[in-house]
Chains A and B, each alone.
Chain A
Amino acid sequence: MARSPTATDALIHARGLTKRFAKLVAVDAIDFDVGRGEAFGFLGPNGAGKTSTMRMIGCVSSPSAGTLRVLGLDPVHDGPQIRARLGVVPQADTLDTELHVDENLFTYARYFGIPRDLARRRAEQLLDFVQLKERARDEVEFLSGGMKRRLTIARALVNEPELLLLDEPTTGLDPQARHLVWDRLYRLKQQGVTIVLTTHYMDEAEQLCDRLVVMDKAKIVAFGSPRSLIDQYSTREVLELRFPIDTTPALDRLDGVAERIEPLPDRVLLYTNDGEAAAVTVHSRGLQPESVLVRRSTLEDVFLRLTGRTLIE
């Protein structure tokens, strides 16, 4: 499946990777490779298996079956050596609320065996990088959600990792906070840090990822660059029609207007390369939608096409 870098230079190499809990198959025989310097995404709805995959890469959950190599090492036997070179941003913040902002970075650096002097200097630099310098001596409790997330990212960078794993880095953040996080991640990528992230926001995946896999029900259902996925599974444009309640017309009245028609509970999506032209056709057939919107296709449309469901219900 998602194998573009050759196996030898892959930072992460997975074949038939599987994770089973008692009765549940969380990850079902997935294949992927992540190359050095890449930004690689796992896109999918909640429960698709993204976090289970991340935990296996982070060596805190052992695979039930299949092959997994991280940094060329075996996560089951070389866990501590691998983790020494990883940065992990977990889905839920695990900050020390009993410690100050700068102490959080200091104590985390000490887990990696970084000498005290260097730990203090690095804490200072990283707080600068995530724009929290003024909050260094504050209690973690009083930080906003976005600031906590940035502190968690700073903490994950304390050992200057080669590979940064981010599990839903911006879930729950307001747009401004999200853009700040994206900006910092983009800078890290420029510095050559390999980034692997999970998200259920298609705009996040489009912004950050060079390549991504779409996961659904424990399996990889598609892979490629955001652009190539859209080209492959969707049309250039989408015409969104919203009709007044209970007046949605029979779908056959829209026959031939677009390449593909996707009725949703609250609107109808028409996939076409020319949205404006399709809108004209709709009106010429005497249909009167309440609102008409022409937009470009996104990964959301790819996901809808592949699974018949939207990403966030």
Chain B
Amino acid sequence: MTGTLRVLEHHLLVYRRTWKGSVFVSFVSPILFLGAMGFGLGSLISRGPSRTVDGVSYLAFLAPGLLAATAMQSAYVEATYPIMARIQWLRTYEGMLATPIGVLDVLAGEFGWLALRLALGSCAFFLVMLLFGTVHSGLALLAIVVAVLTGLAFATPILAFTATQRKDTSFPFIGRFLITPLFLLGGVFFPIHQLPQLVQDIAWLTPLAHGVALARGLLVGQAPPSAGLHLAVLLAYAAIGVVVARVTLQRRLVP
């Protein structure tokens, strides 16, 4: 436990040098997306025949989906290149493991840090949502927790994969063939039920659709009908990721 805290302390010390840039991005990206898509595209939709999407304004529909999807994207970024750097470019972990700190501390510290970063990013996003007037209930605060959980459901398996890689050439593929398609088809910009059945089925197999559904429900002020299932899927992905990462990182660092 104390070893985990020491790893967290290290990451915090490094973050003290870089936080300004990352906080800036955390605010700018949601402002741009909600402004351009929510207001811009939203104004077109509000003049169309149905006027709303699933019963709410397009901005209100989009915001919670984007909250979860943003967590997914930062999870992807944080669980690939920086982890690779600490494994073999900067060899930070090798330095840590020469002290009483063990592989489990490294892993727990890393996931703890990821959760913190995701929470910070999601809080910034939530503030922007407040600003855009899409928050109407106290229950909406729980959407931050859902976003963090969605991020972790991606971060833990991706980190497990990163630990098996010797080069960074596969990371853009994850981005192109997993993260971007999910971003577009995971129910963020339009309801999943408008997709062909096969694509719908695939979308529901991934954590994003479940994170989006949960966050969206919480933002309108009620838990969605299958909230338990959504939550279970997110937790399952995160848990499996942790278990596999434990094995792959152990093999990589202490062969």
**Cross-chain contact B96 with A111 (CB below 8 angstroms):** yes
User: Chain A residue with minimal CB distance to B253?
Assistant: A60
Contacting residue for A108 out of B99, B254, B255, CB 8 A: B99
Question: B98 contacts A98, CB within 8 Å?
Answer: no
A123 shortest CB reach to chain B, Å: 13
Q: Are A92 and B91 in contact (CB under 8 A)?
A: yes
Chain A 108-128, CB-CB to B under 8 Å as 1, else 0, gives 101111000000000000000
Q: How far is the CB of B117 from chain A (nearest CB, A)?
A: 15
Beyond A62-B254, A99-B13, whether A108 also contacts B97 by CB under 8 A is: no
Nearest-neighbor residue (CB-CB) of B94 within chain A: A94
Q: Does B55 contact A (CB under 8 A)?
A: no
| Shortest CB distance A164–B (Å) | 11
Closest to B102 in A: A80
Interface residues on chain A, size class: 20 to 34
Asked if A98 contacts B14 (CB within 8 A), the reply is yes
B182-202 vs A: 1/0 string, CB under 8 Å? Answer: 000000000000000000000
Instruction: Please classify the interface of chain B as helix (H, G, I), strand (E, B), loop, or mixed, using the class held by over half of its residues.
Output: helix
Contact status of A107 and B9, CB under 8 A, knowing A94-B94, A96-B14: yes
Mark interface residues in A210-252 (1 if CB within 8 Å of B CB, else 0): 0000000000000000000000000000000000000000000
Contact B100 A111 (CB under 8 A): yes
Contacts A21-B255, A94-B91, A94-B92; A83 near B10 (Cβ below 8 A): no
Contact of B100 among A84, A90, A107, A155 (CB under 8 A): A84
Shortest Cβ distance from B17 into A: residue: A98
Q: Does A207 contact B (CB under 8 A)?
A: no
How far is the CB of A126 from the nearest CB of chain B, in Å? 15
Q: Are A112 and B99 in contact (CB under 8 A)?
A: yes
Please report the C-alpha to C-alpha distance between residue A99 and residue B96 in the assembled complex, in whole angstroms.
Answer: 15
- Please give me the residue from chain B that is nearest to A112 by CB atom: B99
Q: Does any Cβ of A come within 8 Å of B90's Cβ?
A: yes
Tell yes or no: B95 within 8 A of A by CB: yes
Chain B residue numbers with a CB within 8 Å of A159 are 99
Q: Per-residue 0/1 for B12-44: is the Cβ within 8 Å of any A Cβ (1 yes, 0 no)?
A: 011001100000000000000000000000000
* B2 contacts chain A at the CB level, 8 A cutoff: yes
Q: Per-residue 0/1 for A77-112: is the Cβ within 8 Å of any B Cβ (1 yes, 0 no)?
A: 001110110101010111111110001001110111
**Residue in A closest to B254 when the chains form the complex, CB atoms:** A60
Cα–Cα, bound, A106→B14 (Å): 12
A58 at the interface (CB under 8 A from B): yes
Partner of B101, one of A58, A103, A111: A111
B51 within 8 A of A: no
Q: Does A61 contact B (CB under 8 A)?
A: yes
Residue of B91, B98, B255 near A86 (CB, 8 A) is B98
Please measure, in the bound complex, the distance between the C-alpha atom of A159 and the C-alpha atom of B99, giving whole angstroms.
9
A92-B91, A96-B92, A107-B9 known; A83 and B99 CB under 8 Å? yes
- Shortest CB-to-CB span from B107 to chain A, Å, is 15
Given A80-B102, A99-B17, check contact A90 B94 (CB 8 Å): yes
B residues within 8 A CB of A107? 9-10, 13
Residue of B92, B96, B100, B255 with most partner-chain A CB within 10 A: B100
**Shortest CB–CB separation between residue A208 and chain B, in angstroms?**
21
What mask results when residues 241 to 255 of chain B are scored 1 for a CB within 8 Å of chain A, else 0?
Answer: 000000000000111
Point out the residue from A58, A81, A88, A99 that lies within 8 Å of B14, measured CB to CB.
Answer: A99
**A81, A94, A156 interface centre (most CB from chain B within 10 Å):** A94
Using a CB–CB cutoff of 8 Å, the interface residues on chain B facing chain A are 2-3, 6, 9-10, 13-14, 17-18, 90-92, 94-102, 253-255
Q: A21-B255, A94-B90 are in contact. List 15 more A-B contacts (CB 8 A).
A: A60-B253, A81-B100, A84-B100, A86-B98, A90-B91, A90-B94, A94-B98, A106-B13, A107-B10, A107-B13, A110-B10, A111-B10, A111-B99, A111-B100, A113-B2
Complex A-B, nearest 10 residue pairs according to Cβ-Cβ distance, in ascending order: A94-B95, A88-B98, A111-B99, A94-B91, A80-B100, A84-B100, A98-B14, A94-B94, A107-B10, A111-B6
Q: List 21 A-B contacts (CB under 8 A).
A: A60-B97, A60-B98, A80-B101, A83-B98, A84-B99, A90-B98, A94-B90, A94-B92, A94-B94, A94-B98, A96-B14, A96-B92, A98-B18, A99-B13, A99-B17, A107-B10, A108-B95, A108-B99, A110-B6, A110-B10, A111-B6
